[in-house]
Amino acid sequence: MSWFKRTEKGINTPTELKRETPDGLWYKCPECKNVMHTREHKQNAYTCIHCNYHDKIGSEAYFSLLFDEGDFTELDKDMISGDPLKFVDTKAYPDRIKSTVEKSGLKDACRTAYGKMNGQDITISCMDFGFIGGSMGSVVGEKIARGIDHAIKTKTPFLMISKSGGARMMEAGFSLMQMAKTSAKLALLEEAKLPYISLLTDPTTGGVTASYAMLGDFNIAEPGSLIGFAGPRIIKETIGKDLPKGFQTAEFVLEHGFLDFIVDRKDLKDKLASLLAILK
């Protein structure tokens, strides 16, 4: 068992000189399980260099990818949810909001900003799944509505990036009203003859899918995104049948006519800029 013994004497490394790999240096793809350097993963638009798996990212990453030089102006950045229903589950709703703000660094599940994308002015609203599952509450609806108002005022195209588990149960009917509110605002955008592009990312479900996510002049998606209203398990239990292979993936939805095209995140900025140039 000599391989367990140090054969050369005099080799001593002080504890303070021993080095360990820093946390966050490597990224392991959840799909193919291959490992890559975190910097390489980021430079590849947060997609796997081996299998092209699109990792879930939030508004900060999308704004950095889409706005020229990552330069943008955020709208209504300090807007935060109230507690109109005095809702309590395992904790009071205000306490849940407070803890989520501290944990995520976000004020709610949507951010809206404007700036230039390949030299073209654009207004973008982007959802964050890291804030209570990207749930759609009053703040989300109001930020999107104000983003559309800004697009109309400045005569700029509007891009909506959806990533959500659906309506926020803590706000009940107030949450559901955001579906009608945002849809009505989009009708005003259409009257102003301004382009609306809806990008569906993983996952886009529930009331978000049933409203603004599917109302784009162009509905596009990232590869492999889960897109649907109710989840596959609920549908399977309701109809009592096995679901088709790839059910509710972006590719399945595209094949059945609910999407215009699927775009790789690495090509997203150029594709959007080209599309908007055509629509001018």
Answer yes or no: do 62 and 45 share one domain: no
Q: Say whether both 78 and 187 belong to one domain.
A: yes
* 3 state DSSP class of 54: strand
Segment 52-103, tens digit of pLDDT: 999 999 999 999 999 999 999 999 999 999 999 999 999 999 999 999 999 9
Task: Please answer whether residues 278 and 217 qualify as being in contact, where contact means their C-beta atoms are separated by less than 8 angstroms.
Answer: no
Q: What does the pLDDT look like over 103-159, one tens digit per residue?
A: 999 999 999 999 999 999 999 999 999 999 999 999 999 999 999 999 999 999 999
Give mean pLDDT, residues 153-182: 96
CA distance 144 to 253: 25
Residue 93: CA atoms inside 13 Å, Cβ hemisphere, count? 16
Please tell me whether residues 148 and 220 are part of one structural domain.
yes
Same domain for 97 and 8: no
Co-location of 17 and 70 in the same domain: no
Average pLDDT in the chain: 92
Residues 6+ apart with CB under 8 A from 208: 127, 134, 136, 162, 164, 166
Where does 205-277 show beta strands of DSSP type E?
A: 218-221, 261-262
Instruction: Answer yes or no: do 206 and 84 share one domain.
Output: yes
* 183 and 107 part of one domain: yes
Minimum mean pLDDT range among 13-17, 61-65, 70-74, 249-253: 13-17
Tell me the pLDDT band of 280, cut-offs 50, 70 and 90. confident
Ramachandran quadrant class, 270 (left: phi over 0; alpha: psi -120 to 50; beta: rest): alpha
Residues 215 and 275 in one domain: yes
Per-residue model confidence (pLDDT) at position 13? 58
- Do 265 and 134 fall into the same domain? yes
Q: Which residues span the domain enclosing 29?
A: 1-55
Based on the number of CB atoms within 10 Å of its own CB, is 210 exposed (0-12), middle (13-18) or buried (19 or more)? middle
At residue 233, the pLDDT reads 84
Number of domains in the chain: 2
CATH of the domain at 129: 3.90.226.10
Out of 39, 55, 71, a domain closes at: 55
CA angle centred on 220, ends 122 and 136, rounded to 5°: 75
The pTM score is 0.89
Does 74 share its domain with 2? no
My answer on whether 51 and 62 are in the same domain is no
Least confident of 80-84, 218-222, 233-237: 233-237
In a shared domain, residues 36 and 123: no
